[in-house]
Amino acid sequence: MSAPIVTAGLLVIGDEILSGRTKDVNIAATAEFCTDLGIALSEVRVVPDEEDMIVAAVNVLRTGYTYVFTTGGIGPTHDDITAEAIAKAFGVDLPINAEARAILEARWNETGTEITNARLRMARIPEGAELIVNAVSAAPGFRIGNVHVMAGVPVIMRAMLEAIAPTLQGGQKVDSRTVSAAVGEGALGDPLAEIQSRYDDVKIGSYPQMGHTHILTHLVLRSADIARLDEATAEVQALVDALHAKKNITLPKEPY
Amino acid sequence: MSAPIVTAGLLVIGDEILSGRTKDVNIAATAEFCTDLGIALSEVRVVPDEEDMIVAAVNVLRTGYTYVFTTGGIGPTHDDITAEAIAKAFGVDLPINAEARAILEARWNETGTEITNARLRMARIPEGAELIVNAVSAAPGFRIGNVHVMAGVPVIMRAMLEAIAPTLQGGQKVDSRTVSAAVGEGALGDPLAEIQSRYDDVKIGSYPQMGHTHILTHLVLRSADIARLDEATAEVQALVDALHAKKNITLPKEPY
């Protein structure tokens, strides 16, 4: 399997995701972002606003993957503890960063906003980190080592992803093909496994589609080798065509 | 902090979530399910269809939390490897389960579906596990130890959660109150931290609301102690009222 060599781990930080109060959308956004850049998102973890758990997860992910992305916990309130946790994970101090403070003060002056201790929390950046600009609400994220610390608010998170995109080294671009089958996974499983066994360099995934009036399966093939991808896709398409023909079906009623 | 004593970890299994092809909805469903039962969902991991990663994650989560829930990878195709991985994590065999086979064959007979090796994969259940019924498509999930293995298809996943609900021991029910503030987090941070410092038994979360014409912050208080929760909520409400009055605002234009 010609695995992409550039990998990433995502750490979603926030009690509100785990309580169900907020529905996360940053996992999907990061997954699409990585796929577009040829980076294999290899693992996601969601942890609460608890320092020990953030530190442990960051330290595991940053040694296991090329890049780590974190979302959440960089605002001005007492439950925003991501910057402390990252500083602790890297064993560095967390001073007020002059550049971050200048960016924030410029925005605060514009809007006549008082400088408070709470607001200044957002200018604390781990020693040795570089800022990630926040086009939306000024308060910056930061990159330290291979860890990119970003906001949890989706619109800010997406803006920060755009900001860091040019700094990331993409991997081998993996292309994909989809074959739609009007039969269930049960009918496809055996011959599909046989095809997969002959294509080490193509990953074949099978995704049942529920909630249709008939069951339909999407077979998704992925590979960095386009010629092999097209070859495997042709085989899968032939398999599906044969199953359709054999069963003479357009609207099957198979369970899977 | 009177932490709920019943905890859970969720393991979402599937390449399609990590590639961005499928947007996960099972995290939010499980989070709400747990909260409703008074179970604290403490961690979520998303891993690809890779045996080593599934085994490692299951073994960490099942020793760390009261319950583990997994979603995905129990269908009939070659990329459905969750049952193998769970059997491996528990060090048990994975035979064809007579009860599972009977359930599946009954459904297959009804629909005139041929029994294939691929379909029979769905009857393989780790030794010592109990079935979790699947009202939607027959193929069962299973529980082994404290690990509940369920389907990835959301409608089946939700049906399985309903099926296991009566078997779960709920924790202390945590109640919540929300105070809405027409000011940003920057103005709230310092006094809110002071209130939090006096209420160890109430967890106060602050959630900025973006995408409004004005910034509005939701302050969410959670506690198992209703009297203390209401006390803390009154303090937070008084703080917000004072900030509103002081600034004489209904539509602020504060950054945070």
SS3 for B132?
strand
Same domain as A184, residue A162: no
- CATH code where residue A243 lies: 3.30.310.50
Q: Is residue B75 part of a domain?
A: yes
The per-residue pLDDT for B210 is: 62
Helices (H), chain A: 15-18, 26-37, 51-64, 82-90, 98-111, 117-120, 154-164, 185-198, 226-247
Tell me, yes or no, whether B106 lies in a domain.
Answer: yes
Q: Is residue B156 part of a domain?
A: yes
Residue B255: pLDDT above 80? Answer: no
Q: Tokens 């991985």 — which residue?
A: B85
- Tell me the residue type at A176: S
* Chain A environment of B119 (Cβ under 8 Å): 186, 189, 256
Do both A23 and A142 map to the same domain?
yes
Q: Which of A10, A13, A21 to mutate to test the interface with B (most CBs of B within 10 A)?
A: A21
Closest approach of B166 to chain A, Cα-based (Å): 20
Provide the 3-class DSSP secondary structure of residue B105: helix
**Does the beta-carbon distance from B77 to A206 stay under 8 Å?**
yes
For residues A128 and A24, state if they share a domain.
yes
Domain membership of residue B96 (yes or no) is yes
Instruction: List beta partners, residue B10.
Output: B44, B69
Q: Is A2 within a domain?
A: no
Question: Which of A120, A138, A167 represents a domain boundary (last residue)?
Answer: A167
- pLDDT of B151 > 60? The answer is yes
Considering the domain architecture, whether residues B118 and B228 belong to the same structural domain is answered as no
Instruction: Please tell me whether residues A187 and A101 are part of one structural domain.
Output: no
CA distance A14 to chain B (A): 9
For residue B40, how many C-alpha atoms fall within 13 Å in the half-sphere facing its CB?
19
Q: Decide if pLDDT at B140 tops 70.
A: yes
Whether residue B252 is contained in a domain is answered as no
Query: By mean pLDDT, which of A49-63, B24-38, B79-93, B172-186 is the weakest?
Result: B172-186
**Whether A35 contacts A6, CB under 8 Å:** no
Domain closes at, from A136, A167, A198:
A167
Minimal Cβ distance to A185: which of B28, B47, B75:
B75
Residues 6+ apart with CB under 8 A from A241: none
- Do residue B255 and residue A138 have CB atoms under 8 angstroms apart? yes
Q: How confident is the model at residue A215 (pLDDT cuts 50, 70, 90)?
A: low
- Range(s) of the domain holding residue B139: 7-167
Cα separation, B202 vs B33, whole angstroms: 21
Can you tell me the distance from the alpha carbon of A64 to that of A61, in angstroms, rounded to the nearest whole number?
5
Domain check: are A33 and A154 in the same one?
A: yes
What is the mean pLDDT of the segment spanning A177-198? 89
pLDDT digits (tens, 9 = 90+) for A81-103: 999 999 999 999 999 999 999 99
Q: Select the more confidently predicted residue: A184 or A73.
A: A73
State the pLDDT at residue B1: 43
Residue in B closest to A120 by C-alpha: B186
Length of chain A: 256
Cross-strand partners of B96: B124
Nearest-neighbour CA in chain A from B144: distance (Å): 23
- Of B121, B150, B167, at which residue does a domain stop? B167
Distance CA B66, CA B156 (A): 23
The DSSP-derived string for A68-111 is EEEES--SSSTT--HHHHHHHHHT---PBPHHHHHHHHHHHHHH
**Shortest CA distance from B117: residue in chain A:** A190
**Contacts B23 to A, Cβ<8 Å:** 28
Q: Please give the structure tokens belonging to residue A223.
A: 């590979």
- On whether both A180 and A100 belong to a single domain, the answer is no
Instruction: Please determine, for residue B208, whether its predicted confidence score (pLDDT) is greater than 80.
Output: no
Three-class DSSP labels, B68-87: EEEECCCCCCCCCCHHHHHH
Do B100 and B26 reside in the same domain of the chain?
yes
What tens digit of pLDDT does each residue of A97-153 get? 999 999 999 988 888 888 888 889 999 999 999 999 887 878 899 999 999 999 999
User: Which chain A residues have a beta carbon less than 8 Å from that of B77?
Assistant: 185, 188-189, 192-193, 206
CB pairs below 8 Å between A and B: how many? 220
The answer to whether residue B120 scores a pLDDT higher than 80 is yes
Interface contact flag, B43 A53, Cβ < 8 Å: yes
Domain assignment present for residue A256? The answer is: no
In angstroms, what separates the C-alpha of B111 from chain A's closest C-alpha? Answer: 7
**Residue A157 and residue A227 in contact, taking contact as beta carbons nearer than 8 Å:** no
Give the model confidence (pLDDT) of B231-252 as tens digits: 999 999 999 999 988 877 664 4
Number of domains in chain B: 2
Residues B132, B243, single domain; the answer is: no
- Say which range, A203-212, A235-244, B8-17, B82-91, has the weakest mean pLDDT: A203-212
- For residue B31, the chain A residues in CB contact (below 8 A) are 17-20
CATH code for position B156: 3.40.980.10
Are B130 and B218 found together in one domain?
Answer: no
Assess if residue B256 is contained within a domain.
no
Please tell me the distance from the alpha carbon of residue A14 to that of residue A18, in angstroms, as a whole number.
7
Is residue A40 located within the same domain as residue A57? yes
pLDDT at A63 over 80: yes
Which among B17, B43, B204 has CB closest to A46? B43
Among candidates B32, B154, B193 on the partner chain, residue whose Cβ is nearest the Cβ of A78: B193
Do B214 and B125 share a domain, yes or no?
Answer: no
What angle is formed at CA B154 by the lines to CA B148 and CA B158, rounded to 5 degrees? 55
Over chain B, what is the mean pLDDT? 89
